Amino acid sequence: MEKKINHYNRISALFFIGVGMFFSFYGRTVEIGAWSEPGPGFMPFWSGIILTIMAVFLLLGSFKRKEWQVMPPFFPLADSWKRVLTAFLSMVAYLLLFELLGFTLVTFIFIAFLLKTVFPQNWKRTLIVASATAILARLIFINFLRTQLPLGFLGF
Amino acid sequence: MDLLNHLVLGSQVLFTPINIFFCFIGVLMGTLVGVLPGLGPTAAIALLLPSTFHMTPVTAIIMLAGIYYGAMYGGSTTSILVNIPGEAASVITCLDGYQMALKGRAGPALGIAAFGSFIAGTLSIIGLMLVAPPLAKFALAFGPPEYFALMLLGMVVLIYLAAGSMLKALMIGVFGLLLSTIGMDSISGTQRLTFGILEFSDGVGLIPAIMGLFGVAEVIVNLEEGITRSVVTTRVRDLMPNLQDWKDSIWPILRGSVLGFFIGILPGPAPVISAFTSYAVEKKLSKYPERFGTGVIEGVAGPESANNSATGGAFIPLFTLGIPCNSVIAVLLGAFMIYGIQPGPMMIDKYPDLFWGTVMSMYLGNVMLLVLNLPLIGIWVQVLKVPYPILFPIILLFCLIGVFSLNYSSVEVALMIGFGIFGYLARKFQYEMAPLVLALVLGPMMESNVRLSLVISQGDPMIFVTHPISAGLMAVTFVLLVSPFIPWIGKRRKKLQEKVGGEEV
């Protein structure tokens, strides 16, 4: 079934009501202070209340009967979600591994993996691009710009 | 006479081999990231900022400023040749620029974009030179209520221009303000929502947020569809516009320059808004408005000049008030702080070498861009021909390294990925990211100014309307907020928002 923008608005309104209420409750715990001497909770408290009120308006508005804009499918192609998930998970894996394995090696694996999985390239192209990127990035960032990137247990 | 002395001082600062070299590096890197879709000037500054820590502040600022206006030049190249704007500010250039390229006139389109940018850049620097010092003196009259009112106006202008629902733009703006409260409270020193994580004490990092919301999210959205791009492959030649081109373009360039400069002073994504406004003005003034969109040179000359001029204007609130009016300037403000310099009304008097050196470097940077870009266009075309399936892992890598190298913190990289996911989902739910980023930029200053104002007035919120300057600013803010309910203005807003999409501020 095709979804309309008011369905989307309803979901996001509930999210923002949650966020707004969380911040205003939190504001109370760290002291809102008085009007003449606002404390650290002042801004979270009032902004949280404003956000909640606006989100309630959005939620109520989404129940109005009118010609709502029809939304395109959440994922435009059947396999879009795989590419999106692969890219996000690869970044998380990069983050988890690069202190351990070192910048150059992880960069090589990261680029090669994405090239081979997201829009699959042949092995020759994958290996050439991944090695060239890893080596160039190492030369630019570690050797030239002297950025302190982790070298890992292998020492490079 | 005073001005002349200052210019001499600026030249003395600038014309050292090291400063000229880093000005060159800045504009070159700026152009490169301007060409690459998904990477903006903020990403380039993030990548290069750590390498500036061992430089003098003047050298560092000269390079970082070069990245900013260099990116505006680079953005136009992709718009004209690939129909994909490398920079948000070049979106409108696609309309006529790409059409010109299809007709075999890519050369003059690129040429006039470069010359127009040069003329506009130069004019806006003259404006900056003339306006900033007196404005800084005027800004001494600003107290917390005025600062708060000005920043609130900046945010509301951006929200007003947001495409789609104004309520949703307001909500995302307030969400940004809430996120900006995370970290140590600057007045009482209380830790707020830091969960014991050291990195959060300084607040939610602006660079991880921007790179996540714009860089990562943009790449991921492109991955969904597996975009294919067709670069105009005919040899780009005859970059010099002919006499008729010049006749058609000179007034759009001059008008775009003036317009861009003044829009640049306002907080918000000035280069983007000014480019759209300039296009609308040129279309209105043209004898043949129906031909706009089919490849007329005015449609390239005006907006390209306006967006470059706006970058000069955008430095004014930074140098005079210490307010960053967009995310790039906010990152620059962060850089100033790292070097122990507080931008604001006193800065020009206190650090004349820095101010005038930077101003002079902008002249030189513009000349470099003109000289560089015309012959280098061939190289940029080659960069663009790299297929997206190969380019995107490299862009993601730049985002990862850029964020990590700032503070060598894995937490900030995780934060960037988190913002990437949020930015991706928010696009699906039709929320714009620009108000969120501006709120993150201005949030801490807005909070301290609103609290100080209330302390000064002993809790009376009327302080914002009893001070004349802040009352004026508040009145404009109020009109913008209620305007959707006034049919006449509401219609105009609809027209404006059709033009301005969700762009990087």
- In chain B, which residues have their Cβ closer than 8 Å to the Cβ of A57? 167
What is the SS3 string spanning B145-181? HHHHHHHHHHHHHHHHHCCCCHHHHHHHHHHHHHHHC
Nearest to B401 among A38, A40, A141 (CB): A141
Q: What percentage of chain B reaches a pLDDT higher than 90?
A: 24
B43-77 tens-digit pLDDT: 778 777 777 877 888 999 899 889 888 887 788 88
How high is the pLDDT of residue B449? 93
pLDDT in tens, B398-428: 889 888 988 889 999 999 999 999 999 998 9
Beta bridge partners of A34: A37
Residue-level pLDDT at B504 = 43
Same domain, yes or no: A56 and A91:
no
Bridge partners (DSSP) of residue A66 are none
Give B501's pLDDT tier (boundaries 50, 70, 90): very low
Q: What is the pLDDT of residue B20?
A: 93
Are residues B224 and A42, on separate chains, in Cβ contact within 8 Å? no
Mutate to test the interface with B, among A59, A114, A140 (most CBs of B within 10 A): A114
- pLDDT at site A1: 60
Dihedral angle sign, alpha carbons of residues B37, B42, B43, B49? positive
- Residue at A68 is within a domain: no
A57 touches chain B (CB under 8 A): yes
State mean pLDDT over B203-209. Answer: 87
Q: How many CB atoms lie within 10 A of CB B291?
A: 15
* Residue A29 half-sphere exposure toward CB, CA atoms < 13 A: 9
Q: Is residue B95 part of a domain?
A: yes
The DSSP line for B203-255 is -S-HHHHHIIIIIIHHHHHHHHHT-------S-----S--HHHHHHHHHHHHH
**Residue B142 identity:** F
* Contact in structure between B59 and B100 (CB atoms under 8 Å): no
Amino acid at B270: A
Are B392 and A118 a contacting pair at CB < 8 A? yes
Residue of B nearest to A19 (CA): B175
Same domain, A95 and A128: yes
Would you say A18 and A56 are in contact if contact means Cβ atoms under 8 Å apart?
no
* A94/B428 touch (CB, cutoff 8 Å), yes or no: no
Element (H, E) at A34: strand A33-34
Find, in chain B, the residue whose alpha carbon is nearest to that of A110.
Answer: B393
User: Hey, are the CB atoms on B428 and A87 less than 8 Å from each other?
Assistant: no
Could you tell me the pTM of the whole model? 0.86
Choose the closest CB to A42 out of B175, B394, B451: B451
Query: Is A51 within a domain?
Result: yes
User: Which SS3 state, helix, strand or coil, does residue B63 take?
Assistant: helix
- Average pLDDT, integer, range B109-124: 88
Please check whether residue B175 is in contact with residue B434, taking contact to mean a CB–CB distance below 8 angstroms.
Answer: no
On the 0-12 / 13-18 / 19+ scale of CB atoms within 10 A, B373 is: buried
3-state helix, strand, coil split of chain A in percent (to 5) is 65, 5, 30
Q: Which of B434, B408, B411 is nearest to B217 (CA)?
A: B434
Query: To the nearest whole angstrom, how far is the Cα of B60 from the nearest Cα of chain A?
Result: 14
* Identity of the highest mean pLDDT range in A42-51, B405-414, B434-443, B476-485: A42-51
Q: Taking CA atoms, what residue in B is nearest to A89?
A: B417
Q: What are phi and psi of B184, to 5 degrees?
A: -80, 130
Domain end, chosen from A34, A61, A88, is at: A61
Torsion sign over Cα B94, B42, B318, B418:
positive
Phi-psi region of B351 (alpha: psi -120 to 50; beta: other; left: phi over 0): beta
Please state which of the ranges A23-27, A65-69, B381-385, B488-492 shows the lowest mean pLDDT.
B488-492
Same domain as A48, residue A89: no
Residue B384 and residue B390 in contact, taking contact as beta carbons nearer than 8 Å:
no
Q: Which two tokens stand for residue B307?
A: 């967006």
Cβ B26 vs Cβ B65: under 8 Å: yes
Q: Which residue type sits at B484? A: P
Mean of pLDDT over chain B: 84
Quick check: is B481 in a domain? yes
Average pLDDT over every residue of B356-360: 88
Convert the pLDDT of each residue in B240-293 to its tens digit: 888 898 999 999 999 999 999 988 887 666 777 888 889 888 988 888 888 888
B505 located within any domain: no
Q: Are B108 and B238 in contact (CB under 8 A)?
A: yes
Pairwise CB contact (< 8 Å): A43 & B461:
no
Q: Which of the residues in chain A have pLDDT under 70? A: 1, 156
B382 φ/ψ angles, rounded to the nearest 5 degrees: -60, -40
Does residue B200 carry a pLDDT above 80?
yes
Count of CA atoms in the C-beta half-sphere (13 A) of B59:
15
**Chain B stretch 456-475, residues whose beta carbon is closer than 8 A to a beta carbon of chain A:** 458-461
pLDDT band at B502 (very low <50, low <70, confident <90, very high): very low
CA B201 from chain centre, in angstroms, equals: 27
B503 pLDDT band, cuts 50/70/90, is very low
Residues 92-111 of A with CB under 8 A from B: 92, 94-95, 99, 107, 110-111
User: Quick one: which H or E segment has residue B184?
Assistant: strand B183-184
Which ipTM was obtained for this model? 0.95
In this prediction, residue B387 carries a pLDDT of: 85
Our count of domains for chain A comes to 2
pLDDT bin (cut points 50, 70, 90) of residue B388 is confident
Residues of chain B contacting residue A5, judged by C-beta atoms under 8 Å apart: 430
Three-state DSSP class for residue B475: helix
A108 lies in some domain? yes
| The total number of residues written for chain A in this structure | 156
Alpha carbon dihedral B483, B488, B493, B495, in 10-degree steps, equals: 170
Q: Which residues of B touch A75 (CB under 8 A)?
A: 224
| Amino acid residing at A64 | K
> Helix (H, G, I), strand (E, B), or coil: what is residue B399?
helix
Compare CB distances from A37 to B190, B397, B455 and report the shortest one's residue.
Answer: B455
Cβ atoms within 10 Å, residue B475:
13
Q: A37 forms bridges with which residues in the sheet?
A: A34
B95: phi then psi, degrees, rounded to nearest 5: -55, -55
Domain that holds residue A85: 80-144
Pairing state between β B183-184 and B191-192: antiparallel
**Structure tokens belonging to residue A96:** 């988890």
| Predicted confidence (pLDDT) per residue in B126-176, tens digit | 888 888 888 888 888 889 999 899 889 878 877 877 667 889 999 999 999
When pLDDT is averaged across residues B223-236 and rounded to a whole number, the result is: 66
Report chain A residues whose CB lies below 8 A from the CB of B223: 80, 83-84, 87, 118
The answer to whether A54 contacts B171, with C-beta atoms less than 8 Å apart, is yes
* Model pLDDT, residue B130: 86
CB B365 within 8 A of CB B182: no
Q: How many domains does chain B have?
A: 1
**C-alpha separations of B252 from B244, B248, B260, B285, B299 in Å:** 14, 8, 12, 10, 8
CB neighbours of B100 closer than 8 A, spacing ≥ 6?
Answer: B80, B106, B108, B109, B295, B297, B300
| Same structural domain, A140 and A86 | yes
Could you tell me if A84 and A139 lie in one domain? yes
Any chain A CB within 8 A of the CB of B148? no
Q: Say whether residue A78 is in contact with chain B using an 8 A CB cutoff.
A: no
B404 vs A contacts (CB less than 8 Å): 149
Would residue A129 count as lying in a domain? yes
CA B31 to chain centre: 14
Mean pLDDT of all residues in B360-379: 82
Q: What are the residues whose beta carbons fall under 8 Å from the beta carbon of B423, sequence distance 6 or more? A: B212, B213, B214, B216, B217, B433
> 10 Å Cβ neighbour count for B243?
7
8 Å CB contact of A40 and B187: yes
Over range B93-108, report the average pLDDT: 87
Residues within 8 A of B (CB atoms), A 110-149 only: 110-111, 114-115, 118-119, 121, 125, 129, 133, 137, 141, 145-149
Residue B191: Cβ-neighbour burial (10 angstroms; 0-12, 13-18, 19+)? middle
**B338-349 per-position pLDDT tens digit:** 788 878 888 888
| Cβ-defined contact of A149 to B401 (cutoff 8 Å) | yes
Taking the C-alpha atoms of residue B77 and residue B91, their distance in angstroms, rounded to an integer, is: 11
Nearest to B224 among A9, A23, A77 (CB): A77
**Domain, as residue range, for B116:** 2-229+237-500
Residues recorded for chain B = 505
* Contact residues on chain B for A43, CB-CB shorter than 8 A: 177, 181, 447, 450-451
Report, as an integer, the average pLDDT of B74-102.
81
For chain A, what is the radius of gyration of the CA atoms?
A: 24
Q: Tokens 């109520």 correspond to what residue? A: A60
Distance CA A56, CA A50 (A): 10
Q: Are B208 and B415 in contact (CB under 8 A)?
A: yes
Decide if A36 and B458 are in contact by the 8 Å CB cutoff.
yes
d(CA B324, CA B443) in angstroms, rounded, equals 11
Assigned token pair, A74: 């959440």
